[in-house]
Amino acid sequence: MQQTDIYINAMADYFDQSVATASDDQLFAAGYLRGHIDLAVGTLQLQEQAFSVDTLQQQVALSLQQAISAGELNDADQALVVDIWQHLQQLPC
């Protein structure tokens, strides 16, 4: 399995496992972030070229920055999303 696939699966596992213990706010933030990750993966897959973990992380970071700049999240939700994203970036791949 390719490094990028391992990373994507690790993120999916994190989201799936958090459902049992996360608060409503954490679930919202995780779902919001998962949407950005899924969008980035889909966009990169449409290019029909292999992509790296770094490229995926850059795409997600750009998407999040645009959303935050557009005011999509209140401060508390933004902090939760950023916290989860920072955690996900540290996952082994």
The pLDDT, as a whole number, for residue 48 is 86
Q: Distance between CA 69 and CA 66 in Å, rounded?
A: 5
Q: Distance between CA 91 and CA 78 in Å, rounded?
A: 20
- Given a cut of 80, is residue 1 above it in pLDDT? no
pLDDT band, very low/low/confident/very high, at 10 (cuts 50, 70, 90): very high
Residues 13-67: tens digit of each pLDDT: 999 999 999 999 999 999 999 999 999 999 999 998 889 999 999 999 999 999 9
Report the residue count for the chain: 93
The pLDDT, as a whole number, for residue 12 is 97
Token pair for 36:
């950005």
Cα 11 to Cα 16, 64, 71, 92: the distances in Å are 9, 16, 25, 10
Q: Distance between CA 6 and CA 82 in Å, rounded?
A: 22
Rounded to two decimals, the pTM is 0.92
The pLDDT, as a whole number, for residue 50 is 85
